[in-house]
Amino acid sequence: MAESHKQEYIIEARGLVKKFGFKTALRQVDLFLKKGDCLALFGPNGAGKTTLIQTMCSLMRPTAGKVVIAGFDTRYDSAALHQFIGVIAHDTFLYSDLTAAENLVFYGRMYNVSRLNEKIENLINLVGLSAYAHDQVQTFSRGMKQRLSVARAIIHDPAILFLDEPYTGLDQQGIEDLKQLLMKFRDQGKTIILTSHNLSRGLELCNRAAILNAGVLIYQEDIAKIKKDDFKQIYLKLTGEKTWPAQAPLPASSKNSRRSCGKISYPS
């Protein structure tokens, strides 16, 4: 890992701007995460959540600003950076002609994973697909693909996870399994950025929350401190929902958050 990885923030996004032609998707976004932080990123459709994730994991080049992850500038060191990040997105990035095991073999080789066969066996068991390891992915349901996508994303044991709506397409059991898995990653000290429309899942998992609207990061705070703020009102106003979801842990449930990071100071 680069020398600068020893610095305070494992993820630094400064002044991020992303434009698609005349449309501005991200406007001066600043985001700083320490190692082990777990951020839930909320926002209405079209807020720029996916663009922010894609820009941060170097799939898109920012129009202005920069992202430094684990000491690597995403504009120049993307190949080295990719060893440290895992991404789960709407698309599963799986090859439908290949079997579940073959997909993992392919990605494992790309990441130069050692003891690959053993690792694949463990991962397939972990995501509950051991009975389907040698079935082609095109025969899988959306939920099974998403489970395999989780295995794909963590095959190289990344320190940082970007999760863009990871619960999409999963049944209740799948959601519960993935939730437990993500909590395990969180407890292992992995840094996680999760986008979700589901407040309860985001707040349950993470120790920080942020709201993105029209490309602007309008709110970010420790979940432990949310009670004092107007997170709920902002979110309800943006999404147009009339009531706070029953399952969502209201600010008082900050016991779910693993720890408080204390006052976050943002470097200028």
* Binding footprint of another protein on the chain (CB under 8 A): 54, 57-61, 79-83, 85, 87, 89, 91-98, 102, 106-107, 109-112, 136, 152
Tokens representing 265 are 């100071």
Asked if 74 and 66 touch (Cβ cutoff 8 Å), the reply is: yes
Tokens representing 79 are 């190949």
Nearer to another protein, 90 or 227 (CB): 90
Least distance in Å: CB of 106 to another protein?
5
Nearer to another protein, 8 or 91 (CB): 91
Rg of the chain on CA atoms, in Å: 18
Least distance in Å: CB of 82 to another protein?
4
Least distance in Å: CB of 95 to another protein?
6
Nearer to another protein, 95 or 244 (CB): 95
Work out the end-to-end distance of the chain between its first and last CA atoms, rounded to an integer number of angstroms: 25
Q: Within 10 A of 231 (CB to CB), how many other CB atoms are there?
A: 23
Q: Within 10 A of 153 (CB to CB), how many other CB atoms are there?
A: 21
Nearer to another protein, 83 or 253 (CB): 83
Tokens representing 166 are 């990871």
Least distance in Å: CB of 257 to another protein?
29
Nearer to another protein, 161 or 211 (CB): 161
User: Which residue shows structure tokens 């095991």?
Assistant: 101
Least distance in Å: CB of 149 to another protein?
9
Asked if 230 and 211 touch (Cβ cutoff 8 Å), the reply is: no
Tokens representing 52 are 């922010």
DSSP line for 68-124: EETTEETTT-HHHHGGGEEEE-SS----TTSBHHHHHHHHHHHTT-SSHHHHHHHHH
Nearer to another protein, 70 or 199 (CB): 70
